[in-house]
Amino acid sequence: MAKITFIDSNKIEITVEADSGSVMELAVQNGISGIDGDCGGVCSCATCHVHVAAEDMDKVGAANEIEQDMLELDDNVNEFSRLCCQIQISEQLDGVTLTVAAE
């Protein structure tokens, strides 16, 4: 089980738990404002763009090439950007904080 904290588009902190699936699915299921997941998790829309807390980047890992290409289309990309549809939930993610990227 992993507890993941989202800071949504309204700057509200919401902590949710899960043990499987993608972080995007978890966000959508819990109504996290600013995470839409329009493409259903196939890395083709960037509507699940988050900024990973700097101290959590090792837990989350780097984006793959396809994800990096999609992120290049977003104006709010930084070194901590990830598409949360590409982050799979595992115990390793316990305690991670993700901030929804500004639209």
Residue 60: give its domain's CATH number.
3.10.20.30
pLDDT in tens, 6-18: 999 889 999 999 9
Domain count, the chain: 1
pTM > 0.75: yes or no: yes
pLDDT at 75: 87
What is d(CA 42, CA 64) in angstroms, rounded to the nearest whole number?
13
Residue 29: domain span: 2-100
Sign of the CA dihedral 29, 11, 89, 46?
A: positive
- With bands split at pLDDT 50, 70 and 90, how would you rate the model's confidence at 102? confident
Q: Determine the average pLDDT of the residues in 66-83.
A: 94
pLDDT in tens, 19-37: 999 999 999 999 999 999 9
- Hey, what are 46's tokens? 């960037």
